[in-house]
């Protein structure tokens, strides 16, 4: 399951329309495209949606499909964490470039969050349908 599918599942389970679910955070038209994986969503907007709808971040992100993590992705994840803890930003950026070719949504967001944390930047990370977060 990807981000758009997970959002739709939470929304429909709550019995809400797209307008009710987005609560003026996003336009219903834009949100509809996110659910159908046709548009991007920022990390900021995603977290606002989850908060406004009282969806725990950990519950939401654990609902994403984590079964397609292959050995290469696991290796990249370990290398990324190692580079982070070693404070080797150049190595982390190199690994990030490799991770962007992965199909693992969680791994991609993990990489984005690590780089932003490491750079000590507070940014609105633009995400596409391949959003991920630490498991």
Instruction: Look at residue 33 in the predicted model and tell me its pLDDT.
Output: 95
**3 state SS of 126:** strand
What residue ranges of the chain have pLDDT lower than 70? 65-71, 117-135
Angle at 10 between CA 3 and CA 23, to 5 degrees: 90
pLDDT in tens, 98-117: 888 877 777 787 777 777 76
For the chain, the maximum distance between any two Cα atoms, rounded to a whole number of angstroms, is: 46
Q: Record the tokens describing residue 44, joined without a space.
A: 């900021």
- Residue 108 contacts residue 131 (beta carbons within 8 Å): yes
Rg (CA), the chain: 15
């Amino acid at each position: 399951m990807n981000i758009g599918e997970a959002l739709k599942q939470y929304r429909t389970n709550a019995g809400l329309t797209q307008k009710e679910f987005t609560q003026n955070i996003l336009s219903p038209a834009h949100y509809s495209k996110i659910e159908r994986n046709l548009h991007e969503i920022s990390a900021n907007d995603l977290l606002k949606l989850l908060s406004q709808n009282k969806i725990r971040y950990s519950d939401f992100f654990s609902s994403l499909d984590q079964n397609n993590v292959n050995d290469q992705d696991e290796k990249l994840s370990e290398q990324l964490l190692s580079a982070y803890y070693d404070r080797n930003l150049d190595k982390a950026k190199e690994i990030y470039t490799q991770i962007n070719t992965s199909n693992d949504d969680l791994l991609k967001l993990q990489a984005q969050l690590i780089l932003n944390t490491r750079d000590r930047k507070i940014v609105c990370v633009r995400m596409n349908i391949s959003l991920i977060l630490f498991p």
